Copies of this chain bind each other. A is one copy, B any other.
Amino acid sequence: MLSCGTLSAQIRQEIAIPDLKDYQTLKCDFHLHTVFSDGTVWPTVRVDEAYREGLDAIALTEHIEYRPHRQDIQASHNRSFEIAKKAAQNRNIILIPGSEITRSMPPGHSNALFISDADSLDRPEYRDAFAAAKRQNAFIFWNHPGWEAQQPDTTLWWDEHTELWKNGCLQGIEVVNANTYSPEAHQWCLDKKLTLLGNSDSHQPMQSDIDFSHGEHRPMTLVFVKERSAEGIREALLHRRTAVYFGENLIGEEAYLKELFENALQIRTVHQTDQSVTLTIFNRSDLVFHLEKTEHDPHLIYFRTCTLKPHSQQTLTIHLESGVRSNEVNFEVTNLWIAPHRGLPYTLKI
């Protein structure tokens, strides 16, 4: 009735990851469950969590074919979206309609986003389910391709995936699902021009999986949009403008990661003498950057490894020995992955 409402007393912790020059960076989780499939929370909890954790968009992707709570809950597959919609509006969270087509391997599990009627995906044949999603103009991606329950020892691409891909029913892959990274999926995205995704696939209250008190965050997909809306997200997903934020790592195309790296950093002072150049660099983001020296003029003497901590200022000194010819301080940012386990190469000109 009256009272001072504790429900809305929740604190939103913004995620400091910079925008790109032409795009806004949205933080998204496109794979979540609630009591309406095999999760353990009411749909509104997912909105509250997203608000608190600084996310911009989520999708509740209930399993079409797996509903272990059906003895207590029978409902349309659209129901969890309906319940969460108002809460999402109040919190300014973009709620993307979606569902998980849940099949044995091949083709395994896939999420269809932007669908208008989840019930129409409830079909005996998986091809019919994908076709129904496609008719609704869905964006469809393959979930956790390396899930050991379906691919025990090796992560395989099956003929069925080729077929789905050719039919426009496999537009992206989860290179990160929960706490697992798949290098195979990463390589496939590069080779076949698929969209990179990283999602939590959370079933429990988020705090059961993620230790926020130790600074952990859920895995998420960064989407580089022209406008902050569901339509803006769809457009960006179709054009593969994403990166995955996973632990300390970013996974994405070189151009995007490079721009994120540069926009996160601010060079505050430069002090140059004949013998050395000293820079103070401020990292204004939540990201950490691990630098590792690569090939360079041996007369430039600088760090072997260097860590740029979040929201911290760092002093870098580069010594110039006599005989120096190059002005290129070369290193790799080892936690920004442009290919499986390959860091972002970078050259700082001094």
Contacts and interface: CB of A to CB of B under 8 A. Distances in A.
Interface in A181-225: 204-205, 207-209, 212-215
A1 interface: yes
Nearest to A291: B4
A302 B69 CA distance: 27
A180 interface: yes
A313 B208 contact: no
A304 to B, nearest CB: 5
A209 B45 CA distance: 13
Protomer copies: 4
Contacts of A3: 148-149, 303, 306, 317
A301 interface: yes
Contacts of A162: none
Interface stretch (A5-13, A109-117, A118-126, A231-239): A5-13
A5 B314 contact: yes
A346 to B, nearest CB: 14
Interface in A1-26: 1-12
Interface stretch (A34-42, A57-65, A130-138, A245-253): A34-42
A294 to B, nearest CB: 11
Nearest to A151: B304
Contact of A45 (B11, B152, B205): B205
Contacts of A39: 42
Contacts of A318: 2
Nearest to A91: B313
A309 interface: yes
A208 B48 contact: yes
Contact of A7 (B44, B204, B319): B204
Contacts of A280: 8
Contacts of A317: 1-3, 5
Contacts of A179: 6, 307
Contact of A2 (B148, B205, B212): B148
A18 B305 CA distance: 33
Contact of A35 (B7, B42, B305): B42
Contacts of A305: 180
A161 interface: no
Given A79-B72, A303-B2, A307-B4, A208 B10 contact: yes
Given A152-B302, A214-B214, 17 more contacts: A2-B152, A2-B317, A3-B303, A4-B291, A4-B303, A6-B178, A6-B209, A8-B313, A9-B307, A9-B313, A35-B42, A39-B42, A41-B41, A41-B205, A152-B301, A212-B213, A213-B213
